[in-house]
C-alpha cells in the first residue's frame, strides 16, 4: 500500500458515482486508515494479511459502491488493531509525520493543538488540572454518584487532550470507556435517557452535546498514534451512533427552535452532524450540519460578537470560537471554510480586547455569565476560563499568531493562581 495509491484511485474513480461530499467523507476515512497503516509499516510490521482487503476496497471504489468501501475500511482498521496489539513494545507518543505539520482547518484535523499543549507548560498544566476523573464504569462528573444525563460525559475531552499530549494510554482508555458509558444509556428510539425531568424532545440538546463530543474525540483519537488500538471499540458503536444521528436529524426543527438565540449551541449542533456524518460516511448528516453552520454564522454581529440571548458574553464567545475551530478542521465546503475562517478572525479580535494583561477576563456587559445572570445545577454561571484559554490556543494556531497563544497562557496562569480548574 504505497503512500498515495488508494487515494489516487479513490478520487477519480468515485467521481462518476458520488457527490463531492460523498468523496470528501470517504477520502477523510481513507486518510485515517492510511495513517494507521503507515505507522505500523514504519515499525516493520508484516501487513501482507491486509492485501486482499485493500484490493477489495479498490474494486468497490471503481464500482462506486461507497457503502462497501466504508465496510471494508472498517475491516482494515480492525486488522490494523490486531497487528498493533501484537507489538506491545511500540512507543505510542510520536504522531504521524504528515499530521504533525498540519493545523486545524488545514486539512489535517485538530491534532496540532495536542502538539501545542505538549510544548507549553501553562497549557499542559491547564489540561492536567481540568481533566476529570472517570469511574470504573465510565461515569464522569455528576454521573458518578448517580446517572444524570449524557452531556456530563463530554467533559472527558480534557482527559483526552492530556492523554494525547503526554502519551498516556490510560487516559485514552478512560476516554473510550466514558463514551461507551454514554451509549449504554441509549434508548430504543435512538436518543439518550436522562434523569433531570426533561422530555425526550426537550432533552434533544443534551443528546447533541454528547454526540458532538463523541465525534470530536473519535476524530482526535483517529488522528493520533493510538488509533489502531482504540478505534475498534469506538467503531463497534457505529450502529448505535447511526440510530442516535437519525434521532437527532428527526429533531432538527426542535434543535433550531431551542438554540436559535444561543450561537454556541448552534455550532455544537453543527459539530454533531458534520463530524458524525464524516465518521459514518453519511453526506445527508453533513448537509444538515451545514445548515447549522450557516445559522450560527448568521448570528455574528459586525463587531465580531456572537448572539447569546440577545447580547454578548465573553465566556460563550470562547465556546463558539472553539466550535468554529473544530468545524474548520472538517469544513464541508470551501465556501463555508472561508466563512468560518473570517468569522473566527473577527470573533477572537473582539475577545482578546477583553482580557487584561494578567489574564483576567472582563464580564461587564455579559448576557449570561459572571454577574449571576444564569444558574446551572444551583450554581451561578461564571466565565469558563479553561475554555477561553483553549480558544486562544486554537485561534493562535489557525491565525498563525503566537501573541494569541501567549495571551491564552496568561489566562491559564490566572486560572491556576485562583486555584480552580474552571
d(CA 66, CA 316): 39
Domain, as residue range, for 6: 1-90
**In this structure, is residue 198 part of a structural domain?**
no
**In this structure, is residue 165 part of a structural domain?**
no
**In this structure, is residue 244 part of a structural domain?**
no
d(CA 260, CA 399): 28
Q: Is 387 helix (H, G, I), strand (E, B) or coil?
A: helix
Q: Is 172 helix (H, G, I), strand (E, B) or coil?
A: helix
Contact 168, 229 (CB under 8 A): no
- Packed helices 283-298 and 238-250: angle between N→C axes, nearest 10 degrees: 50
**In this structure, is residue 35 part of a structural domain?**
yes
Instruction: Tell me the pLDDT of the chain (422 aa) as tens digits.
Output: 444 444 434 444 444 445 544 555 666 667 667 666 766 665 667 888 888 888 887 788 777 777 788 778 777 877 776 666 554 433 333 333 322 233 333 335 789 999 999 999 999 999 999 999 999 999 999 999 999 999 999 999 999 999 999 999 999 999 999 999 999 999 999 999 999 888 989 999 999 999 999 999 999 999 999 999 999 999 999 999 999 999 999 999 999 999 999 999 999 999 999 999 999 999 999 999 999 999 999 999 999 999 999 999 999 999 999 999 999 999 888 999 999 999 999 999 999 999 999 999 999 999 999 988 888 877 889 999 999 999 999 999 999 999 999 999 999 999 999 876 55
**In this structure, is residue 236 part of a structural domain?**
no
Contact 104, 329 (CB under 8 A): yes
**In this structure, is residue 26 part of a structural domain?**
yes
**In this structure, is residue 16 part of a structural domain?**
yes
Whether this prediction's pTM lies above 0.85 is answered by: no
Specify the number of domains making up the chain: 1
Which residue carries 459502491 as its cell? Answer: 65
**In this structure, is residue 30 part of a structural domain?**
yes
Contact 375, 381 (CB under 8 A): yes
d(CA 9, CA 212): 31
DSSP bridge partners of 186: 192
Amino acid at each position: 500500500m504505497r503512500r498515495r495509491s488508494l487515494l489516487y484511485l479513490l478520487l477519480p474513480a468515485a467521481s462518476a458515482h458520488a457527490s463531492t461530499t460523498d468523496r470528501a467523507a470517504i477520502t477523510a476515512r481513507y486518510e485515517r486508515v492510511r495513517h494507521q497503516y503507515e505507522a505500523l509499516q514504519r515499525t516493520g510490521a508484516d501487513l501482507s494479511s491486509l492485501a486482499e482487503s485493500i484490493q477489495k476496497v479498490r474494486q468497490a471504489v471503481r464500482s462506486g459502491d461507497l457503502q462497501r468501501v466504508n465496510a471494508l475500511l472498517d475491516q482494515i482498521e480492525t486488522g490494523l488493531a490486531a497487528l498493533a496489539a501484537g507489538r506491545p513494545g511500540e512507543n505510542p507518543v510520536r504522531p504521524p509525520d504528515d499530521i504533525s505539520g498540519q493545523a486545524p482547518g488545514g486539512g489535517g484535523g485538530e491534532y496540532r493543538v495536542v502538539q501545542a499543549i505538549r510544548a507549553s507548560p501553562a497549557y499542559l498544566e491547564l489540561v492536567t488540572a481540568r481533566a476529570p476523573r472517570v469511574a470504573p464504569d465510565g461515569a464522569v462528573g455528576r454521573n458518578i454518584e448517580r446517572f444524570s444525563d449524557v452531556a456530563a460525559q463530554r467533559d472527558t475531552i480534557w482527559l483526552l487532550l492530556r492523554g494525547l499530549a503526554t502519551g498516556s494510554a490510560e487516559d485514552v482508555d478512560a476516554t473510550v470507556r466514558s463514551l461507551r458509558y454514554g451509549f449504554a444509556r441509549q434508548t430504543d428510539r435512538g436518543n439518550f435517557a436522562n434523569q433531570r425531568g426533561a422530555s425526550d424532545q426537550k432533552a434533544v440538546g443534551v443528546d447533541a452535546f454528547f454526540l458532538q463530543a463523541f465525534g470530536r474525540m473519535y476524530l482526535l483519537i483517529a488522528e493520533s498514534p493510538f488509533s489502531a488500538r482504540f478505534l475498534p471499540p469506538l467503531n463497534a458503536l457505529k450502529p448505535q451512533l447511526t440510530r442516535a444521528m437519525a434521532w437527532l436529524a428527526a429533531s432538527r426543527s426542535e434543535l433550531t427552535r431551542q438554540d436559535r438565540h444561543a450561537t454556541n449551541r448552534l455550532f455544537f449542533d453543527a459539530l454533531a452532524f458534520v463530524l458524525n456524518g464524516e465518521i459514518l460516511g453519511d453526506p445527508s448528516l453533513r448537509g444538515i450540519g451545514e445548515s447549522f453552520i450557516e445559522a450560527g454564522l448568521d448570528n455574528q454581529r459586525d463587531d465580531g460578537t456572537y448572539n447569546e440571548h440577545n447580547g454578548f458574553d465573553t465566556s460563550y464567545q470562547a465556546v463558539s470560537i472553539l466550535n468554529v475551530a473544530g468545524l474548520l478542521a472538517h469544513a464541508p465546503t470551501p465556501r463555508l471554510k472561508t466563512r468560518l475562517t473570517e468569522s473566527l478572525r473577527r470573533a477572537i479580535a473582539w475577545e482578546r480586547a477583553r482580557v487584561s494583561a494578567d489574564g483576567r477576563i472582563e464580564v461587564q456587559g455579559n448576557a449570561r455569565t459572571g454577574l449571576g445572570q444564569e444558574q446551572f445545577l444551583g450554581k451561578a454561571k461564571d466565565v469558563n476560563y479553561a475554555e477561553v484559554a483553549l480558544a486562544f490556543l486554537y485561534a493562535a494556531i489557525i491565525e498563525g499568531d503566537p501573541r494569541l497563544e501567549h495571551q491564552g497562557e496568561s489566562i491559564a496562569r490566572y486560572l491556576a493562581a485562583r486555584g480552580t480548574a474552571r
